[in-house]
A and B are shown apart, each in its own frame.
Chain A
Amino acid sequence: MSTLEIRDLHVTVETENGTKEILKGVNLTINSGETHAIMGPNGSGKSTLAYSIAGHPKYTVTSGTVTLDGEDVLAMEVDERARAGLFLAMQYPVEVPGVTVSNFLRTAKTAIDGEAPKVRTWVKDVKGAMSNLKMDPAFAERNVNEGFSGGEKKRHEILQMELLKPKMAILDETDSGLDVDALRIVSEGVNRAKDETNCGVLLITHYTRILRYIKPDHVHVFVNGKVAEEGGPELADRLEAEGYDRYVNAAAEAKA
């Protein structure tokens, strides 16, 4: 049983116009086995939340805490966070020229586990996970994210989630740019990984359609750098019908 706890998190980023506060006091608790959806309009700070938890150097935490099972995540280096059990499936994963997917996966697995995976089971695991995600075996010999389509990048991210077996997985707009079939395949991958490891999932999305495949236990509406409303799956249905206007307007009024 693991718990990721975010308390009153404030985060700034440097822009051309000076320092800008993006997260303005985020509170969130995610336990193993739970799926939380964070939904919100563009520019509300959803991705900033994801990157701040993972430790991207572009973002500065000015106050608040993030803990994983009581351990201070913010005091950890990026790679220490990964080894502690955090995983971020990125919206725009970068290319690593000259490094094959199979080499990358094995290196990452070794780094996360602190020892090299057993050759025989590892090869089988990789092949199995790739086949589940409907990935061509030849994919393993391609260079990481180089020339991947949007859908291939997302499958590759979820492939990593399945193989690295994190305690907490943050999925940053994993649904964006996917057609219906790819969305279903990727979602099934997330569900498989979750069923197998009972990890916690923080699903960041703009749209409700992925929630047809990945059922959230909790839905948080994210507006202007903080959680504006929380509820169960029914909240997603309401957003589907009504959109974010109500929250955005309320936030604008509060600002004025």
Chain B
Amino acid sequence: MSTIEELNPGLADLGRYEYGWADSDTAGASAKRGLSPDVVTDISDRKSEPEWMKKLRLKSLNLFEKKPMPNWGSDLTGIDFQNIKYFVKSTEKQATTWDELPEDIKATYDKLGIPEAEKQRLIAGVAAQYESEVVYHQIREDLEEKGVIFVDTDSGLREHEDLFKEYFGSVIPAGDNKFAALNTAVWSGGSFIYVPPGVHVDIPLQAYFRINTENMGQFERTLIIADEGSYVHYVEGCTAPIYKTDSLHSAVVEIVVKKNARVRYTTIQNWSNNVYNLVTKRATCEEGATMEWIDGNIGSKVTMKYPAVFLMGEHAKGETLSIAFAGEGQHQDAGAKMVHAAPNTSSTIVSKSVARGGGRTSYRGLVQVLEGAEHSKSSVVCDALLVDQISRSDTYPYVDVREDDVQMGHEATVSKVSEDQLFYLRSRGLSEEEAMAMIVRGFVEPIARELPMEYALELNRLIELQMEGAVG
């Protein structure tokens, strides 16, 4: 371990932002900007990927170029695809223990609180993504003994090619949408998880992501397969440093939930306020399976994300709980998609959004009941809270029902922080900011209580940070 200084000439440049520092960009200097078949081929070659993956990447690039930009949702005209680095490699080989990590990366994770979490053994293993490549990865031995695979997605392809090939792109094909095509062409990193039949992973599997190179796009790809009767909770959290120019994050998450299995996927994204966060997340549920998306969107400039569940088997259940928080200059266009394709399936969507400082939140949701999906049930509740007069909230609930015998419920509310609520809390000694933060925390509490403790605490801290200067 004598190479720490060699690896980290820019150690002194570490910033002091609490959630917005930047490490030195030594690794990123070598990466090329822009997108072309050469860039895609280069990514594949550097990873020594099998031929089929290289071909799939190139085919996806072609699809990406053909597909139009979405003309709905948020304004995406600020993205310059030719000014983005599509692959940045941080360190040559993956570290397998904490001590092997370069010092500046460790310093970064220290600020994120990862070692504490690790010490507390609250997490089952950490796949921390750094500059497009997973550099640190640890799986507790008991998981390995149970046959659980939890690796970064590149290793997943190398070490479990057959399994990987069977499911990769099976839930979200490359041509699904423009950004899924982009991700399939240039993906790097992410998590690959397989849980064998009947295995319950009783502690959350956790990955922490950071973007760290100016103008760097992060295109991680996550694939989770929960075999029959198994259970796993995957937690993905993101905080990002602040940069001057716009950055793109376009991930794809595919989840296969087999018969009677259950998967919970928790995200709190806090990308810095110049990141376009355009993510495709989808799960398929077989008979009796349950998929739960818990989705928090705090940061980014623009987020477009609608976690979806395709309920393919009888009695399958889908649930999405989402929180969106839009401050100045932010647009959170988030929601959910539930497709009922089998009888007796049920879905629940609970969406809570908070807008302040001229920020904008939109709930955009689709509930589809296909022919033959009789006795299906769906409930949608979306509540928006406006903290001031200049912010905006919209609701776009789409419902498409092709079957008579179904139960549908939809409730939507928009409320404002009332003068009397503020007065009440302030008359108990809370400053206006503290009072506002308490009201907002209370508003999102029904979702916060579903988060693992450390994430609930982080969410509260993020809300407090967001509310600083919110009143004037």
Q: Identify the A interface with B (CB < 8 A).
A: 54-58, 77-79, 81-83, 87-88, 90, 93-99, 104, 107-108, 111-112, 143, 160, 164
Contact = CB atoms under 8 A, between A and B. Distances in A.
Q: Name which of A57, A94, A143 has the most chain B CB atoms within 10 A of its CB.
A: A94
Given A107-B434, A107-B438, A111-B434, A94 B420 contact: yes
A54 B427 CA distance: 7
Contacts of A79: 426-427, 429-432, 435
22 contacts: A54-B427, A55-B427, A57-B423, A77-B432, A79-B426, A79-B430, A79-B432, A82-B428, A82-B429, A90-B427, A94-B420, A96-B421, A104-B428, A107-B430, A107-B434, A108-B425, A108-B429, A108-B430, A111-B430, A112-B428, A143-B442, A164-B428
B316 interface: no
A96 B438 contact: yes
Interface stretch (B77-85, B251-259, B443-451): B443-451
Majority secondary structure of chain B interface residues (helix, strand, loop or mixed) = helix
Interface in B407-438: 418-421, 423-432, 434-435, 438
The 10 A-B residue pairs with the shortest CB-CB distance in the complex, in nearest-first order: A98-B442, A98-B445, A111-B429, A108-B428, A99-B442, A78-B426, A112-B429, A82-B429, A79-B426, A94-B420
Q: Is the interface of A mostly helix, strand, loop or mixed?
A: mixed
Given A107-B438, A111-B434, A98 B444 contact: yes
A104 B420 CA distance: 16
Given A107-B434, A111-B434, A143-B442, A96 B424 contact: yes
A94 B427 contact: no
Contact of B424 (A77, A94, A98, A112): A94
B439 interface: yes
Interface residues on B, range: 20 to 34
A94 B421 CA distance: 6
A99 B438 contact: yes
B441 interface: yes
Contacts of B430: 79, 107-108, 111
A160 B420 CA distance: 18
Contacts of A57: 419, 423
Given A108-B429, A112-B429, A58 B419 contact: yes
A83 B429 contact: yes
A132 B446 CA distance: 31
Contact of B441 (A78, A87, A94, A99): A99
A98 B429 contact: no
B442 A97 contact: yes
Contacts of B431: 77, 79, 111
Contact of B442 (A88, A90, A96): A96
Nearest to A109: B429
Given A94-B424, A99-B445, A108-B429, 6 more contacts: A57-B423, A79-B426, A90-B427, A98-B446, A104-B438, A107-B428
Which of A81, A87, A111, A164 counts the most chain B CB atoms within 10 A? A111
Nearest to A95: B421
A194 B137 CA distance: 61
Contact of A56 (B418, B423, B429, B435): B423
Nearest to A58: B419
A112 B427 CA distance: 10
Contacts of A97: 442-443, 445
A81 B421 CA distance: 17
Contacts of B434: 107, 111
A82 B427 contact: yes
Contacts of A98: 441-446
A120 to B, nearest CB: 22
Choose among A57, A98, A107 the residue with the greatest number of B CB atoms under 10 Å from its CB.
A98
Given A107-B434, A111-B430, A96 B425 contact: yes
The residue in A78, A95, A112 that gathers the most chain B C-beta atoms within 10 A of its C-beta is A78
Nearest to A96: B442
Contacts of B418: 94
Nearest to B435: A79
Nearest to B446: A98
Contacts of B446: 98
Nearest to A113: B429
B427 to A, nearest CB: 5
A96 B435 CA distance: 10
Nearest to B415: A97
